Amino acid sequence: MNRAPVFLLVEPSPIVATALGKWLVNIFSNSQIMVAPNGAEALQLATENIPSHVLIELSLPDKAGIEILIQLRQALPASRIIATSWFQGRWLIDGARSAGADGFVSKDKLPKELLSLWKIFRE
């Protein structure tokens, strides 16, 4: 039996976090959603709850998103991590993948691309 997905949204915007959380609950009705508005809270929630999926905004108010991504990957080797940003330069996408992201989704393409990625990651 598959475990219900546990999502960690690392998103500084309450509006975006709420919208993504509602969208995920509609897609994965038995899921648990946690929200961290910054890197420090993301690391704390991640180590306490071991989410199966992480969506991390790379522009965070307290630390560089790439730095937090590296730490999340080290703490959560089995979790699927998707980086996101309004910016979509090749350097940012490559940097996120090098830091341990399983994928990158530009926020202007959410939620269509995000759903496609998480369908691939489902077991």
- Above 90 in pLDDT, residue 109? no
Is this model's pTM higher than 0.95 or not? Answer: no
Task: Give the range among 25-29, 71-75, 90-94 with minimum mean pLDDT.
Answer: 25-29
CATH number given to 6-121 = 3.40.50.2300
**What tens digit of pLDDT does each residue of 23-69 get?**
888 878 888 999 999 999 999 999 999 999 999 999 999 999 999 99
Q: Are 75 and 49 in contact (CB under 8 A)?
A: no
| pLDDT band at residue 1 using 50, 70 and 90 as cut-offs | very low
CA angle 34, 99, 72 (to 5 degrees): 30
